[in-house]
Chain A
């Protein structure tokens, strides 16, 4: 049997041959980069204590040590008043308690917390001093045990300033020291403020704690994950709900040439290989901006829930967003504020396009549920005429109106007219979608309705009326 090393070498040789072209380019670029950087001071992989690279010092990074070892820490203080985009971060102190309904919705099912109250009103309002804004940069995707957060940025609000601290591990062996420090920072923290932290950052951190011998407990902080409210408000009006999109479109923040988060792992691996801190500067800045955006979002949502809409925070101009904001406020107990937005909507000029149909239908459904049919009717009528003009028609409004005229008003003629248009629209939908079992059912239901209405009409007036409305289309 030949030696293991020899076999490994052959394995490598064949893998190299397979992707020769690709590989060559990669090595060339790596080499040229090294010469540009000139110096290669310390390769960050000997595991021992080594002096801090001067470049790190330039970035404001220092060595932090505790009983579990050492890691790097960068601290940035933003003395108040400090404005990030549209909002002043000192407003956090007043805005935070308004986030209470969001906090309750996101934490009420936390089984570890025995003290969880039954109702929103009994949930303690969060205070700015209890918030820890948190964003991690990790070596991979997913929440498997091999995904390591190499940088953790945390932000805190005090009376005088907003303070960001960013950790960096120079190699995975420093993780334990970093986690030990992080755990100390959790002291007094009621909520972690994150963007998708409930499903990503926190599970990843929980993995790391368990891997390092800690166990989960009932004193874990709660969550304020802003991805959920962002989606609720902007899912249909922003191209994506990524934090960078949200801050630029709604918080008035311009990032400039930011290193995208998706490049962070590769930059860290490069740092590990070459020991050059310059690879990481962009990651530090990106992470810092993310934490600031989180604070800014907290102010925004706080204003929305604290009655500041239209004043401290601008009223949404887009009808769809106005509706979604109203619905979100309603969901979080801000009924009068929601009403105000709905009234604004009801007065909105008739726009065009299928995007205008959705919120009208949803608003009409809300009115119908609350028994305000007189307010639902104009919404349905608008939605109906928009649908008829739309290339992608929806038939809900016609159906509602057919039901309304048949059962409440007993005006079978109008009901039939709406039912027949609905059938026409259903046919157009089916033709667009080619085949659809559901569409076929819908059509059959409509045909039954039309037949029934014709019978009713016949009983009332004699011979049936047809064709009148298809001319309108």
Chain B
């Protein structure tokens, strides 16, 4: 690896695009001896695995747990995090056969890895400790055994929500004796999903209390800015923070790579996809096992096609694989195994591989575009190079403003703490959903607490809606339904569209979530799967099925979405000079309109067609700011439109940066004449029913956000607007940049 890097330094055509090269020196390990009280059997088992000492963070976790505290451990990938919770759990189980532990992982795949590891330790200890996964794949015959006799039950929040908690009477043994609840990958529980999970945990604690147990929470997380706060919000308890990482790490190179400008006037750079492909090709050809991360499924498939093509002579196409959400579990397991064994030399993935799935140690990582957050960047680059030897990560910037901002301000990247994980468990809709589920599980009583809102108001509301029935000081579930069935923790996950290949017979090849469906698998869309092109022949919207047939064409498709926005209610507002900013509830209707056919490689537009799909309505929270009539009158309607559009283009990229949310979670819409106040307005809204607090936070960050936007536009090297700032001149006109800046200045001068 070192050799490869020193060679790289001599290649001028690459080095002239490297804007920044950061080297993180190797870090030695810091250890302490195994605590005295560790059970002799456990000691022997650990020794058999070559563990004679503990890393400092592992010891710290053990002591916190022994002292009866809830703990959250935050250390990088491959630092021996699992032992932080497995050690105290096994210690307890060896002493007390009746004790139980519940492990929660965000995905089934992670759960299975975990069971294998625990089983190995149990075997080494020759202890009768039964570890089982309990998920949708568990056969009914085994379920009963697990309920009664499993010491460690490994599951996911969805299963807990819809199968375990509503049937808690079948789990009496578990809940009466529950000592530990393990929540790994804590950082994955943010946004909507995290808000749901926080409520599932409220329900879990309620059930434990009913059966008289008071379990300790042992959490683990990748690096985020607020692990302690996040853990405390998620589990509703105060926790010990354990972040003194004692694990060693090899030398790490982080290289920022900005594709060369090919058109100075238009500010157009070479495609980041092509540049990522070039770098990954260099690595793969020299036998370096490499992971490439791309932002979208489509990107993954495009890169995969290119790379397989590039190295098929040397390596064969089977040695480069794709990996993303839509692949079926069996295929994913096969790819994970291939990566561990080294048989697969390269993988192109979405952030699906960001989580702790065991794929062994890779040497190099290429990020096609900034992953959207600092935490994700570290997490993804952590896939390359684990404990020993050097590793390299390339961050290849795309032309979007956020990428360009980061690549030109490496200090921002290195100097800023990773983002916060934000959840909003008291989002009214999410909270009500779980109050229903909780009432189904156990009646509520006057004085009970569930979340921060006034519970009795919620219960009264549900009673009026004839879902609950009040008798004296108690509220009972009185409805025929099973509430958990209609509530999905991952808003899109449950309503997946399946993709059926009808080329030869019927074969399910993948799935797409509901939000993705209108733009990814509308009829005539080109759907890419494992590098193969399919055309959607029929989309059965009510049945959630897309029928596709294999094709061989030289284009891919890209769909447009038309949105309409209405303000329902204003909760907060502030007037600053010519600017009125407001926060409140909005309704958004979205309808896909047309799709474009875009030629592969050259990316030129070669045709289009209409999309016929129903409109979707979303009621959510939003934040928006509007300009005074006086300020509006200073420019023509057309100029105003360009200025707004330019500003919105910048803000859409800056907002997720400040929120640590997926760029898909928040939307920005500029309107020259807003429906509710007839003024030029830019809207932001949360892309989840009821909102999850993102636009509320933006309302607070307003000043900072606009200042940042000004800095970005001014700092951009283009002449009159480019995709890296206000947008290309085809979109915002020749004066787009100046117009956006004058609008920004207008606000400042008057305030």
Contact = CB atoms under 8 A, between A and B. Distances in A.
User: Is the A/B pair a real complex?
Assistant: yes
Interface of A: 1-2, 4-5, 7-8, 10-12, 14, 45-48, 139-146, 148, 171-173, 206-207, 210-211, 215-216, 265-266, 269, 272-273, 435
B481 interface: yes
Contacts of A148: 476-478
Interface of B: 166-169, 172, 428-429, 432, 439-443, 453-454, 457-458, 461, 464-466, 469-474, 476-483, 505, 568-569, 571-572, 585, 619
Contact of A265 (B169, B470, B480, B569): B480
Nearest to B439: A146
B166 A173 contact: no
B478 A272 contact: yes
A142 B169 CA distance: 14
The 7 A-B pairs of least Cβ separation, nearest first, read: A47-B472, A146-B440, A172-B476, A47-B471, A146-B477, A173-B471, A210-B169
A171 B480 contact: no
Contact of A273 (B168, B172, B466): B466
B26 to A, nearest CB: 50
Given A45-B469, A45-B470, A46-B472, A269 B478 contact: yes
B480 A145 contact: no
A272 B469 contact: yes
Contacts of B568: 10, 14
B478 A139 contact: yes
A5 B168 CA distance: 32
B169 A173 contact: no
B167 A143 contact: yes
A8 B572 CA distance: 18
Contact of B482 (A12, A141, A173, A269): A141
Contacts of B474: 47, 172-173
B480 A141 contact: yes
Contacts of A206: 169
A269 B481 contact: no
B148 to A, nearest CB: 10
14 contacts: A5-B457, A11-B432, A14-B568, A141-B480, A144-B167, A145-B167, A145-B442, A146-B440, A146-B483, A172-B474, A207-B169, A211-B442, A215-B172, A272-B469
A8 to B, nearest CB: 5
B585 A172 contact: no
Nearest to A172: B476
Contact of A172 (B169, B457, B471): B471
A106 B563 CA distance: 61
A4 B472 CA distance: 23
Which of B440, B453, B457, B476 counts the most chain A CB atoms within 10 A?
B476
Secondary structure class of chain B's binding surface, majority of residues: mixed
Contacts of B454: 4
Nearest to B587: A14
A206 B167 CA distance: 11
Nearest to A171: B471
B8 to A, nearest CB: 53
B348 to A, nearest CB: 34
A171 B472 CA distance: 10
A204 B414 CA distance: 58
Contact of A8 (B172, B428, B471): B428
Contact of B428 (A7, A141, A211): A7
A70 to B, nearest CB: 13
Contacts of B572: 1
Nearest to B572: A1
A10 B453 contact: no
A148 B439 CA distance: 12
Contacts of B472: 46-48, 173
Contacts of B479: 139-140, 146, 269
A4 B453 contact: yes
A7 B619 CA distance: 13
A50 to B, nearest CB: 12
A10 B481 CA distance: 24
Contacts of A207: 169
Contact of B571 (A1, A48, A216, A265): A1
Nearest to A141: B480
Contacts of A265: 480
Contact of B166 (A145, A171, A172, A216): A145
Given A10-B568, A141-B482, 14 more contacts: A10-B569, A11-B429, A14-B619, A45-B470, A46-B471, A48-B472, A144-B166, A144-B167, A144-B482, A146-B477, A172-B471, A215-B172, A269-B466, A269-B478
Contacts of A47: 471-474
Nearest to B432: A11
A172 B428 CA distance: 27
A45 B471 contact: yes
Nearest to A208: B169
Contacts of B453: 4
Contacts of B469: 45, 171-172, 272
Given A11-B428, A172-B469, A145 B169 contact: yes
B477 to A, nearest CB: 4
A211 B442 CA distance: 8
B458 A8 contact: yes
Contacts of A1: 571-572
Contacts of B482: 140-142, 144, 146
A4 B459 CA distance: 12
A48 B458 CA distance: 23
A142 B474 CA distance: 23
Nearest to B569: A10
A211 B169 contact: yes
Contacts of A141: 480, 482
B639 to A, nearest CB: 37
Contacts of A272: 469, 478
Contacts of A173: 471-472, 474, 476
Nearest to B172: A210
A252 B66 CA distance: 70
B480 A10 contact: no
A2 B568 CA distance: 13
Nearest to A18: B617
Nearest to A207: B169
Nearest to A170: B471
Nearest to B163: A144
A171 B475 CA distance: 11
B505 A435 contact: yes
B167 A172 contact: no
Contacts of A46: 471-472
A140 B453 CA distance: 29
B176 to A, nearest CB: 9
B614 to A, nearest CB: 15
Nearest to A140: B480
A207 B169 CA distance: 6
A145 B440 contact: yes
B432 to A, nearest CB: 8
Nearest to A211: B169
Nearest to A150: B478
Nearest to B571: A2
A4 B429 CA distance: 12
Contacts of B168: 145
Contacts of B443: 172
Nearest to B165: A145
A172 B481 CA distance: 17
Nearest to B207: A145
A141 B474 CA distance: 23
Nearest to B210: A211
A141 B485 CA distance: 13
Contacts of B477: 146, 148
B443 to A, nearest CB: 7
B696 to A, nearest CB: 9
A171 B477 CA distance: 11
Nearest to A47: B472
A171 B468 CA distance: 12
A146 B461 contact: no
Contact of A12 (B465, B470, B478): B465
Contacts of A435: 505
Contacts of B172: 210, 215-216
